[in-house]
Structure 1
Amino acid sequence: MSEPVYRFIGEATRGGIVAVCDHASNFVPEGIELGVPPGTLDKHVAYDIGAAGVCERLARRHNIAAMLGEVSRLVVDLHREEEADGLVPTTSDGILVPGNIGADRDKRLEEYHRPYHSAMERWLDEVQPGLILSIHSFTPELESKPGQERPWEIGLLYNEDERAALHAIRLFGELGVTVGDNEPYSGRELNATMNRHAEAHGRPYCAIEIRNNLITQERGQARWAAIIADVAGRVKLALETA
């Protein structure tokens, strides 16, 4: 296995703000045949559309270094616990992934999932960030539930540690953003990366979901990166002065 599992953008400042993006890429390594219909890798089921672009701009324009996952979640979902059913998905939002039926789960863990999380652990231990941003995107509606609109522009997800999220919800709201509190789904049900690398270590974090039709183009990515960087800076200040 020679393909990169992750990449870093920018130089992290110790005690500063960093970003992680589990679903940055729709890349499928050589030798893995998913058997999905044409065009599937361009859909949200394969990666978080626009999220990598937001992280690129956070790093290059706002001094928020980022770590990006470089393997499609249809190969292995980096934002799942090792024992989770959806780690190597056989279906996703109603789309069958026949190549994953009977796939070697342990091999996918060893080649992709564990190297990614081991590298993240080393990085965060070294940087000791004051705030972690976990950047994801979501669809305006699910393919399996057409017509059921998701009105939020941004959602803040959290499990047990709500410190940073509640500040962010308030601050995004003050900017006129339609913001979801544990929407479009709950961090109490799906928060694997932040549970492991933030909550388990007492590190404050904002798990941010951006509606992907807002960030499909570079202009939108730049706009939302600027908004997120502004809010993140004020969240960090609020945490430090609490």
Structure 2
Amino acid sequence: MVANFGSIAVTTSETFERLGPNSQSPIAACADHAGNSLPPDLALGIGDDVLDQHVAVDLGVRELSQCLAGNHNIPVHVAKVSRLVVDLHRREDDPAVMPKTSDGIAIPGNDAGRLEDRLARFHRPYHAGLENFIEDTEPELFLALHSFTPRLKTSGEKRPWEVGLLYNNDDRAARHAIRLFKNMGFTVGDNEPYSGKQFNATMDRHAETRRIPYLTIEVRQDLVTSAQGQSEWADRIAQVARQTLAALKAN
């Protein structure tokens, strides 16, 4: 059963909310692409249906975050705004931080003149809030939660992995987690479906600079679109995270 999460959110803003305990925790998490909100004063020039597609949100990740917070007492810093408004998992100087297109879908409302406002209104408050979150929770292991589409429309290439672990320079935790997920019987991507050498902005900024071991976990979205899948994957992620932390402490 998935817990009742009505009272979990302890801090909320236009850009993010915190789920779970508002206290120190050995394991904490963030979810940069969990939200699909579009503030009513913004017009992106896209259909409403696009906000429910993978280009706008990591499907299933907000619910996965709720399960981790409610069932496993792991606090999570969760994005509320869609990645089509501004991509919180990109550096400010990345050309894709305010995407013009995504998987073949044009976003005409994202013209260059709006970039500074988007950064000031959403990107910077999200990351300032995440810095405060890390200071409050003081995690010994930090998780970044994502989901990925089984197939990109633009390439048509299938992605066979059920779960991927991404990392840049610090692979201490990822090496343990890759082994643990494989031992569970899953097809695991080692820096797949894309490489953390290129796509690791949040963990580079908030974990690697602090030398906090981290796991960037990408679950294939078709596995976390149902309540059962979300609960089961939260159980697996919590188990792997705790075993990874134990292994790190033992070394």
Indicate the TM-score class for this superposition, using the shorter chain for normalisation: over 0.9
| 3-state SS in 1 of match to 2:29 | strand
Does the C-alpha gap of structure 1 residues 151 and 83 become closer, same or farther in structure 2, counting only changes over 3 Å? same
Counterpart residue identity of residue 78, structure 2: L
Structure 1: 4+ residue segments shifted above 4 A: none
Number of the residue aligned with 1:101: 111
| Partner of residue 123 from structure 2, selected from 85, 105, 113 | 113
Q: Distance in 1 between matches of 2:173 and 2:227?
A: 27
Is residue 233 of structure 2 the alignment partner of residue 224 of structure 1?
Answer: yes
Number of the residue aligned with 1:55: 65
**Do the aligned partners of 2:23 and 2:136 also contact (CA within 8 Å) in 1?**
no
1:62-141 equivalences in 2 (<5 Å): 62-141=72-151
Counterpart residue identity of residue 47, structure 1: V
What is the CA distance between 1:166 and its match in structure 2?
0.5
Q: How many residues align?
A: 240
The Cα offsets for residues 13-49 of structure 1, whole Å up to 9 and x where unpaired, read as 5251011000111100121111114521111000100
| Partner of residue 208 from structure 1, selected from 199, 205, 217 | 217
What is the CA distance between 1:177 and its match in structure 2?
1.0
Using the size of structure 1 for normalisation, the TM-score is 0.96
Number of the residue aligned with 1:184: 193
Cα RMSD, aligned residues only: 1.3
What is the CA distance between 1:102 and its match in structure 2?
3.3
Number of the residue aligned with 1:36: 46
1:145-156 equivalences in 2 (<5 Å): 145-146=155-156, 148-156=157-165
What is the CA distance between 1:12 and its match in structure 2?
4.9
The Cα offsets for residues 40-62 of structure 1, whole Å up to 9 and x where unpaired, read as 11110001000111110001001
Q: Distance in 2 between matches of 1:198 and 1:135?
A: 14
Q: Distance in 2 between matches of 1:26 and 1:11?
A: 24
Q: Distance in 2 between matches of 1:116 and 1:14?
A: 20
**Do the aligned partners of 1:12 and 1:64 also contact (CA within 8 Å) in 2?**
no
What is the CA distance between 1:101 and its match in structure 2?
2.1
Does the C-alpha gap of structure 1 residues 240 and 15 become closer, same or farther in structure 2, counting only changes over 3 Å? farther
Is residue 205 of structure 2 the alignment partner of residue 196 of structure 1?
Answer: yes
What is the CA distance between 1:104 and its match in structure 2?
1.3
| 3-state SS in 1 of match to 2:112 | coil
Number of the residue aligned with 2:30: 20
Number of the residue aligned with 1:174: 183
Does the C-alpha gap of structure 1 residues 20 and 82 become closer, same or farther in structure 2, counting only changes over 3 Å? same
| 3-state SS in 1 of match to 2:78 | strand
Number of the residue aligned with 2:4: none
* Identity across the alignment (%): 47
Using the size of structure 2 for normalisation, the TM-score is 0.93
